[in-house]
Amino acid sequence: MTMKASGPAAEWREIDRWDHGVGWLAHPEEEMQRASHALEADGEVWVVDPVDAVGIDELFAEFGDVAGVVLLLDRHTRDADEIANRHGVSVHVPRWMSGVAEEVDAPVEPLHAQLGDTEYGVHQVVDLPFWQEAALYGEETGTLVVPEALGTAGFFLSGTERLGVHPMLRLFPPKKLGRLSPERILVGHGEGVLDDATDALVDALGGSRSRAPSLYAKTAREFLPV
């Protein structure tokens, strides 16, 4: 199993389908489990942190025309420009996020408190010199999209966790997300949490520090030579 594949995926796997969106793993075989999502709002599609794949436009078309591409993490430019250019739309980046527009070869528009005219609010999660991250939250659909601070890929999880805080944030988890009560949580690494999502979020944030040593020990065992 590779850590991170390269190039558009010839084969991809659908994940996280619900009435107003869907996700996909462009390279299901990779350990990083990079997940991308398409959110439907008022008959239009917003593509979030996408990794391109052959035939993925047909998945978007099930929900409507693409209105824009959204980047929620400064280092998740991924294939945003390719998809934006293909659909003739802009890449939307949180206005406070620096250094991202220069990495995107497509029109870029600043993302303010809301995602266009949709229900999705834009929430700052991390704002550090080496890490800038935002989340999307729609109260009407109960959908929370978190690209990196939370995840379900193996390297995020300790013990019986269904949702885990990123290893680098374990000691200082994004507690502000605890104010939200999502019905589903979509992440940038791994499949989303579609059942009892608020409970999973409370558990992830509340146990982040105490379970950090076991996660670090698991990671060390996996990477140490045998």
Which CATH number characterizes residue 74's domain?
A: 3.60.15.10
Structural domain including 158 reads 17-24+34-223
pLDDT score, position 62: 98
Whether residue 210 lies inside any domain: the answer is yes
Whether residue 104 lies inside any domain: the answer is yes
Query: Could you tell me which residue, 54 or 5, shows the higher pLDDT?
Result: 54
pLDDT score, position 2: 63
Q: Is the pLDDT of residue 70 over 70?
A: yes
Q: 222 falls in which pLDDT band (50, 70, 90)?
A: confident
Whether residue 7 lies inside any domain: the answer is no
Whether residue 116 lies inside any domain: the answer is yes
Whether residue 61 lies inside any domain: the answer is yes
Which residues, 6+ apart, have CB-to-CB distance to 12 below 8 Å? 24, 25, 26, 27, 28, 53, 54, 55, 56
Q: Tell me, rounded to whole angstroms, the distance of Cα 95 from its chain centroid.
A: 18
Q: Is the pLDDT of residue 86 over 80?
A: yes
Q: Is the pLDDT of residue 10 over 90?
A: no
Whether residue 133 lies inside any domain: the answer is yes
Whether residue 181 lies inside any domain: the answer is yes
Q: 153 falls in which pLDDT band (50, 70, 90)?
A: very high
**pLDDT tens per residue, range 188-215:** 999 999 999 999 999 999 999 999 999 9
Q: Is the pLDDT of residue 50 over 70?
A: yes
Whether residue 127 lies inside any domain: the answer is yes
Query: Could you tell me which residue, 76 or 46, shows the higher pLDDT?
Result: 46
Q: Is the pLDDT of residue 119 over 60?
A: yes
Query: How far is the C-alpha of 185 from the C-alpha of 146, rounded, in Å?
Result: 7
Query: How far is the C-alpha of 194 from the C-alpha of 148, rounded, in Å?
Result: 17
Q: Is the pLDDT of residue 9 over 80?
A: no
Q: Is the pLDDT of residue 7 over 80?
A: no
Q: How many domains does the chain have?
A: 1
Which residues, 6+ apart, have CB-to-CB distance to 88 below 8 Å? none
Using only C-alpha atoms, what is the Rg of the chain? Answer: 17
Q: 109 falls in which pLDDT band (50, 70, 90)?
A: very high
